[in-house]
């Protein structure tokens, strides 16, 4: 009888201990929750080279979700229907960083917009991605900052991650603009706080600016978050265009671009239900820019196997929106085979119109 009593007492104390630990963790996350302001100035690092963005000449821009250097060809992710958290070894993280750096050096883009760039995160072994991807001038904005992310399992731990914009041209200003967060307490405490990283670059012979917007919109919400964030983005772009500025927004929209579902049908919606950008949904004269000839993203339900066409899912969710005074000369998705991250980079060639559109 005593043995049974002791057994149940032990179970009770274990339950109490687990519950207490959960309460303490939730209290800690609530107190330390990252709560950025609606707008915050962002430090511009590097040395001004005295170079302004050219008018009427080709300008090369590259956008890439670098997946905190841990979402390469061997990765799967439980949030995408995989079986585990994407935890790569430190050697793999370094190899992925070096590989992505080589791609960017090969492409020689004047402007680079990166998403999921880590600084001092446990999941990427404390590496500062700015050491791999910086140019003459750089801006960085956090969209994920938490001292301990308890999910998935094994947990991410400490995360400091965000958007990195690197430029061969001078930046006049960089600002972090908060986007709506669709999550409520307590899930919100250890979740991303999405934003726009807005970098302002002077344009030669002009009082206008190239307003360069780096973005990574909501991924694992019910859909309303993506919509609200996209609406804020469009309103902001329209406002800047009406000032006479050139406006270019690029990154990971986590929504398929118009007319791309027919190329890559969503055959695995139970794993991840992707949002959609609709043709005609952006302000008049603005244009979408994407290249559906090559997918920009793969589903992380399993390690990458290009021969497994039945279980592999592709998307075109990385691209750009351009204001009417920017001419799109070329957009190309670079097929890097998802070796270093679950996204392919997208390269844009544009030029700024000399007239006022």
Strands 59-65 and 346-352: antiparallel
Neighbouring-strand partners of residue 250: 214, 320
- Helix (H), strand (E), coil (C) string for 181-209: CCCCCCHHHHCCCCEEEEEEEEECCCCCE
Query: E strands of the chain, at which residues?
Result: 39-41, 44-46, 59-65, 111-118, 137-149, 157-167, 173-178, 195-202, 209-216, 246-252, 255-256, 275-276, 287-289, 297-298, 314-315, 318-322, 326-333, 346-352
Q: How many domains does the chain have?
A: 1
Q: Which domain holds residue 90?
A: 37-352
Distances (CA, A) of 203 to 43, 169, 337: 20, 10, 36
CATH number, domain at 70?
A: 3.60.10.10
Residue 50 lies in a domain: yes
H helical segments located in 57-209: 90-107, 130-133
Q: How confident is the model at residue 29 (pLDDT cuts 50, 70, 90)?
A: confident
Give pLDDT tens digits for 306-344. 999 888 899 999 999 999 999 999 999 999 999 999 999
Do residues 123 and 156 make contact, with C-beta atoms less than 8 angstroms apart? yes
- Rounded to an integer, what distance in angstroms lies between the CA atom of residue 317 and that of residue 64? 11
Residue 315 lies in a domain: yes
pLDDT score for 240: 98
Residue 31 lies in a domain: no
Q: How many CB atoms lie within 10 A of CB 296?
A: 29
Give pLDDT tens digits for 248-302. 999 999 999 999 999 999 888 888 889 999 999 999 999 999 999 999 999 999 9
- Rounded to an integer, what distance in angstroms lies between the CA atom of residue 58 and that of residue 230? 28
Residues in the chain: 357
Residue 198 lies in a domain: yes
Residue 15 lies in a domain: no
Residue 58 lies in a domain: yes
- Rounded to an integer, what distance in angstroms lies between the CA atom of residue 105 and that of residue 40? 31
Residue 119 lies in a domain: yes
Q: How many CB atoms lie within 10 A of CB 78?
A: 15
pLDDT score for 267: 86
Q: How confident is the model at residue 16 (pLDDT cuts 50, 70, 90)?
A: low
- Rounded to an integer, what distance in angstroms lies between the CA atom of residue 336 and that of residue 342? 10
Q: How confident is the model at residue 139 (pLDDT cuts 50, 70, 90)?
A: very high
Q: Say which range, 2-6, 68-72, 209-213, 219-223, has the weakest mean pLDDT.
A: 2-6
pLDDT score for 115: 98
pLDDT at 81 over 90: no
Q: How many CB atoms lie within 10 A of CB 120?
A: 14
Residue 28 lies in a domain: no
- Rounded to an integer, what distance in angstroms lies between the CA atom of residue 319 and that of residue 296? 9
Mean pLDDT of 134-139: 97
pLDDT score for 24: 74
Instruction: Give long-range contacts, CB 8 A cutoff, 24+ apart: 231-234.
Output: 232/179, 232/180, 233/179, 233/196, 233/321, 234/281, 234/282, 234/283, 234/286, 234/321
């Amino acid at each position: 009888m005593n043995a049974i009593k002791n057994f149940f007492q032990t179970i009770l104390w274990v339950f109490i201990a687990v519950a207490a630990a959960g309460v303490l963790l939730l209290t800690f996350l609530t107190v330390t929750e990252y709560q950025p302001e609606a707008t915050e100035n962002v430090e511009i690092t590097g040395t001004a080279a005295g170079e302004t963005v050219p008018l009427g000449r080709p300008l090369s821009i590259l956008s890439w979700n670098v997946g905190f250097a841990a979402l390469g060809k061997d990765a799967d992710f439980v949030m995408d229907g995989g079986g585990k958290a994407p935890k790569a070894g430190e050697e793999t993280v370094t190899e992925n960083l070096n590989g992505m750096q080589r791609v960017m050096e090969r492409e020689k883009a004047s402007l680079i917009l990166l998403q999921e760039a880590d600084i001092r995160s446990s999941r990427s072994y404390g590496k500062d991605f700015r050491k791999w991807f910086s140019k003459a001038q750089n801006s960085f904005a956090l969209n994920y900052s938490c001292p301990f992310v308890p999910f998935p399992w094994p947990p991410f731990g400490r995360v400091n991650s965000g958007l990195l914009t690197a430029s061969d041209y001078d930046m006049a200003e960089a600002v972090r603009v908060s986007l709506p967060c669709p999550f409520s307490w307590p899930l919100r405490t250890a979740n991303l706080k999405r934003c726009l990283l807005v970098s302002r670059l002077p344009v030669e012979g002009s009082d206008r600016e190239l307003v360069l917007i780096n973005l990574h919109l909501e991924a694992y919400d019910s859909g309303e978050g993506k919509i609200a964030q996209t609406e804020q983005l469009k309103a902001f772009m329209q406002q800047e265009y009406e000032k006479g500025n050139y406006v270019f927004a690029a990154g990971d929209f986590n929504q398929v671009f118009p007319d791309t579902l027919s190329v890559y049908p969503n055959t695995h919606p139970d794993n991840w239900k992707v949002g959609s950008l609709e043709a005609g949904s952006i302000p008049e004269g603005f244009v979408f820019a994407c290249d559906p000839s090559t997918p920009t993203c793969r589903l992380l339900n399993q390690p990458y196997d290009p021969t497994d066409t039945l279980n592999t899912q592709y998307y075109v969710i990385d691209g750009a929106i351009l204001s009417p005074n920017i001419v799109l000369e070329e957009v190309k998705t670079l097929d890097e085979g998802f070796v270093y991250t679950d996204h392919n980079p997208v390269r844009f060639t544009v030029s700024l119109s000399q007239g006022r559109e």
